[in-house]
Amino acid sequence: MSIFSHPNVAGTPAQDSPESFVRERLAALKAADGHRALKTPRGVDLSSNDYLGLSRHPAVIKGIFEAVEKYGAGSGGSRLLGGNLPLHEEVEETLARLKGREAALLFNSGYQGNVGILSALAGPGDQVFSDKLNHASIVDGIRLSKARIFAYRHCDMNDLEGDLKRHPTRSRSAKRLIVTDTVFSMDGDIAPLKDLVFLAKRYGAMLMVDEAHATGVFGPTGAGISEMLGVSGDVTLALGTCGKAMGVFGAYVVCDKEMRDYLINHARSFIFSTSLPPAVLGGILAAVDVIKGEPERRERLLERAAGVREELQEAGIDTLKSESQIVPVILGSESRALEFSRGLAEEGFDVRAVRPPTVPKGTSRLRLSLNASVAEEDLRRAVETIIRLYKEGV
Ligand code: PMP
C-alpha cells in the first residue's frame, strides 16, 4: 500500500475527509438558528427592495424589450474591449444628470461597485473611516484595498472625529477616505450627511456615500439623501444601485470626470468583467424616467412607512431609528425572529427574519421592507399580524 492510499496519513482520523468542515459548520449554524436557506418569494411582498414596484412597471418592461430589439442580447465584452455600446454612455449621462453630477460610471452590481471603487481609491498606508453598520460590500472593498480601517460607531460623529484626530496620516501622500451608507440597509436610518461633509473637509478626507436604498426614494427628484440635504456636489463619489427602487439590476457611481477616468483605469471589477447587457440598460433608462415623472410613488411609500412605524411604536415595538421605507422590528433572538417570519407567512406575507452575522447578536429582527405597490389593506393586515404576534408573546 502506498502512503497515498493509506487512510490515516499524518494522523488524520480515518473518517475525516478534507470537506468534513462543511457538514460540521452547517450543523453548528442549524443548532444556533443561524442557518439560511433560499426561499422563493411567496405571498404579499414585504421583503424585496423593489420599493416603487418598478420591476413590473410597463414602461420599464417596454424599455427592456426595445433595447434588446435594437442592440441584441449580450454586450459582447468588457467596456474596454468591445463591450462599450452607445447605450452604456447614454445611461451614464442620464444617471449623472439625475444625480446632478458631471459624470457617472456603470458597474455590474453594487457589490462590484463598492469592491472595485474602494480598492482603487485606497491602498496600503491609506486610511478608511467606515460606519460600523456599512454594507458588507463596503467592508469587503476596504479589506481588498489593504488600507487601515477605522470602523466608527454607527452614525457617531464624535467617534469619527476622534479617530480622524488621533490618527494623522503617516506621510503627506497617504490618502484618507470616509465611507457611509446613506440609508442603512438593516436599520433603515439615515447617515448625518451634512456632518460627514463637514468632517471630510476639515480633516482632508474624500467622502464616498452609498445611496443604494435612497435612490428613487428620497430627494425632490428621487436622487437620494445627498439631494435631499443639498450636498450632492460635496461628496467625492456617490454609489447608486439599479436593482432596488429602479427595479432592474446593476449599479453606478457619480463623481467628476477625472475620477471617472481614474476608475476606468484602476477599478478592477470594472476593467475585468463583461459589461451590462442592453436589456438592463434599456430598463434603467426607462426607470429613471418613471422616477422623475411619478414622484407620487415615493411620496406614498414614505407616508406609509411613517404610518407603519407609528403603529408599531404605539404597540411598544422597537423600530430603532428608522426614517425610511426599511422598518426593522427588533425581536432579539434568532428563534423569535424566525417564528415571527413563519407567523406572517401563515397569514400570506413574505417578511424575512434577519439574524447575525448580518446584524449584531441580540438584535435579530424582521426587516419590513415597504413597497409602494402593496395594497393599503394588505399592509394594514400585516401590521396587525405583527402586533398580534407581539402581544401573544411569540
Ligand atoms: N450597498 C448597499 C447599501 C446594499 O444594501 C447593497 C445590496 N443589498 C449593495 C450595496 C449591493 O448592491 P447589489 O445588490 O447591486 O450588488
Distance from the alpha carbon of residue 14 to the mean position of ligand 1, in angstroms:
44
> Counting beta carbons within 10 angstroms of the beta carbon of residue 158, is it exposed (0 to 12), middle (13 to 18) or buried (19 or more)?
exposed
For the cut 60, the answer to whether the pLDDT of residue 176 exceeds it is: yes
Among residues 244, 275, 341, 369, which one is catalytic? 244
For the cut 90, the answer to whether the pLDDT of residue 387 exceeds it is: yes
**For a pocket test of ligand 1, which of 241, 246, 280 has the largest count of ligand atoms closer than 8 A to its C-beta?**
241
> Counting beta carbons within 10 angstroms of the beta carbon of residue 51, is it exposed (0 to 12), middle (13 to 18) or buried (19 or more)?
buried
**For a pocket test of ligand 1, which of 115, 132, 135, 276 has the largest count of ligand atoms closer than 8 A to its C-beta?**
135
Mean pLDDT, to the nearest integer, of 28-55?
A: 93
Active site residue 213: yes
Taking CA atoms only, the protein residue closest to ligand 1 atom 7 is 110
Residue 296: per-residue pLDDT: 97
Say what percent of the chain tops pLDDT 70.
96
Provide the edge-to-edge strand list for the sheet that holds 103-107.
Answer: 103-107, 251-255, 237-241, 206-210, 176-181, 127-131, 148-152
Q: Tell me how far apart the alpha carbons of residues 368 and 320 are, in angstroms, rounded to a whole number.
A: 12
The overall average pLDDT reported for the chain is 95
Residue 393: per-residue pLDDT: 84
Distance from the alpha carbon of residue 212 to the mean position of ligand 1, in angstroms:
6
Secondary structure of 199-243 as H, E, C letters: HHHHCCCEEEEECCCCCCCCCCCCCCHHHHCCCHHHCCEEEEECC
Residue 9: per-residue pLDDT: 53
For the cut 80, the answer to whether the pLDDT of residue 82 exceeds it is: yes
User: Which region among 24-28, 30-34, 338-342 has the lowest average model confidence (pLDDT)?
Assistant: 30-34
pTM of the model: 0.94
Taking CA atoms only, the protein residue closest to ligand 1 atom 8 is 185
For the cut 80, the answer to whether the pLDDT of residue 195 exceeds it is: yes
Among residues 185, 269, 273, 322, which one is catalytic? 185
Ligand 1 atom nearest the C-alpha of 243 is 15
**For a pocket test of ligand 1, which of 48, 108, 137, 187 has the largest count of ligand atoms closer than 8 A to its C-beta?**
137
pLDDT band at residue 34 using 50, 70 and 90 as cut-offs: confident
Cβ-contact 374, 336 below 8 angstroms: no
Distances (CA, A) of 188 to 93, 185, 195, 324, 325: 29, 6, 19, 5, 7
Mean pLDDT, to the nearest integer, of 124-134?
A: 97
Say what percent of the chain tops pLDDT 90.
91
Residue 170: per-residue pLDDT: 83
Q: For residue range 207-261, what is the model confidence (pLDDT) as tens digits?
A: 999 999 999 999 999 999 999 999 999 999 999 999 999 999 999 999 999 999 9
Taking CA atoms only, the protein residue closest to ligand 1 atom 9 is 110
Cell numbers describing residue 98: 439625475
Distance from the alpha carbon of residue 292 to the mean position of ligand 1, in angstroms:
22
36 vs 196 pLDDT, higher one:
196
Q: Tell me how far apart the alpha carbons of residues 278 and 61 are, in angstroms, rounded to a whole number.
A: 13
For the cut 90, the answer to whether the pLDDT of residue 162 exceeds it is: yes
